[in-house]
Structure 1
């Protein structure tokens, strides 16, 4: 994938003018280059979530925490993994369980890139992680990018799914009115039973979209997108 001298992909598009990329990215890039451990996802997938869902196309945002720390899983979109990953990451398995209860079906594989094509931004609040060490890059400064993305997306009504206390901590960056903000427990095995199961986020988002005259999101069937 082509990139400029900053190490940013040419396909970053309208996100490129966020202040983060000039003020913070050079320092984070240098830190990642000096990291002795393997860093996930691969460099060319670092900004995949933003590349796949440009600001004007975003209709819903799902905030994750950091990429999967298991090599071969993370590919740049929150909660998503490569199609061949088996068994499913446990949080994703719980998401699919809730999806089946909510709308009666769930995808067959771990790959959620088809959601990005429908305007769902699957954004982790940290875009890198050392292999095997969840949260290992949580304090690099990636949170500044998350806040700027949410501020940019506050320009018109959108749906925001904030699962868990970490994601909910970014709620103040969502400004303006008429958004749909759904806050619940995180789908991880430690917390899913504390309010994620039964929260029905997928039907709620679609009901909100259709009430606004927009097409619903096809959550479960990639082949229909």
Structure 2
């Protein structure tokens, strides 16, 4: 695997993907779906395959108006910072003494090689989990397997029980996996706070001879 183009060509030939796209076409026509259609694959566009250094996995896109734009955990400038991301910023302050930004737009991370994908990449407005078991899980598992084949070492951040199940797809010994509780308010105090994922990621990247991530978000 050399590029996301190659990955998409491979997936587009498979019946599950064709069925998923037919399903989505109908959903976008008849319901309010997030992210907007043009933002569906932002995580792939923002972070080329060859540049990926870190993988951050989300479960499901935000399901309220104006939030989801195709990068997990991220919201555009001007949108209220959601609770999970606020907790990530709190941990960033504890971990690397980086002050909390005024916005939640994480494109700076993506541009440096942080691949931010939700396992299920679309959702009906106001209905969390509404596009589960439609084919996305197969697609995103295949993306993780494609990243597992990456020639350079990658750090995988697996937060929460659900994300940690994806560890079985990461078999290449040159990659590193960091696990903890999820940053959601329901679980952050049970092992996300104090886990120092940002400094640990950079320590692993340095070990691999790769440039660390500048985690500070520009205003």
- Normalised by the size of structure 2, how large is the TM-score? 0.91
Q: Which residue number corresponds to residue 192 of structure 1?
A: 188
Contact 2:75 2:105 in 1 (8 A): yes
Specify which of 47, 69, 72 is matched with residue 75 of structure 1.
69
Provide Cα deviations, 1:64-118, integer angstroms capped at 9, x if missing partner. Answer: 00110011000000000111112x1111111111111111114331100111110
1:78-93 to structure 2, matched below 5 A, reads: 78-86=72-80, 88-93=81-86
Q: Which residue number corresponds to residue 15 of structure 1?
A: 7
- Between the aligned partners of 1:175 and 1:103, the Cα distance in structure 2 is 30
Q: Which residue number corresponds to residue 173 of structure 1?
A: 169
Number of residue pairs matched by the alignment: 212
- Between the aligned partners of 2:163 and 2:130, the Cα distance in structure 1 is 17
The answer to whether structure 1 residue 115 and structure 2 residue 112 are counterparts is: no
Q: Which residue number corresponds to residue 197 of structure 2?
A: 201
Specify which of 125, 130, 133 is matched with residue 124 of structure 2.
130
Deviation at 1:178, TM superposition (A): 2.4
- Between the aligned partners of 1:95 and 1:14, the Cα distance in structure 2 is 33
Alignment partner of 1:196: what SS?
Answer: coil
Residues 27 and 73 of structure 1: CA distance in aligned 2, closer, same or farther (over 3 Å): same
Structure 2: segments with no counterpart, 5+ residues: none
- Between the aligned partners of 2:216 and 2:116, the Cα distance in structure 1 is 15
Q: Which residue number corresponds to residue 47 of structure 1?
A: 41
Contact 1:14 1:55 in 2 (8 A): no
Contact 2:91 2:193 in 1 (8 A): yes
- Between the aligned partners of 2:23 and 2:208, the Cα distance in structure 1 is 44
Structure 1: segments with no counterpart, 5+ residues: 1-10
Deviation at 1:21, TM superposition (A): 5.8
- Between the aligned partners of 2:33 and 2:95, the Cα distance in structure 1 is 35
- Between the aligned partners of 1:12 and 1:24, the Cα distance in structure 2 is 18
Spell out structure 1 runs of 4+ moving beyond 6 A. Answer: none
- Normalised by the size of structure 1, how large is the TM-score? 0.89
- Between the aligned partners of 1:123 and 1:21, the Cα distance in structure 2 is 21
Q: Which residue number corresponds to residue 96 of structure 1?
A: 89
Provide Cα deviations, 1:12-51, integer angstroms capped at 9, x if missing partner. Answer: 6343233366432221122122234311000010011011
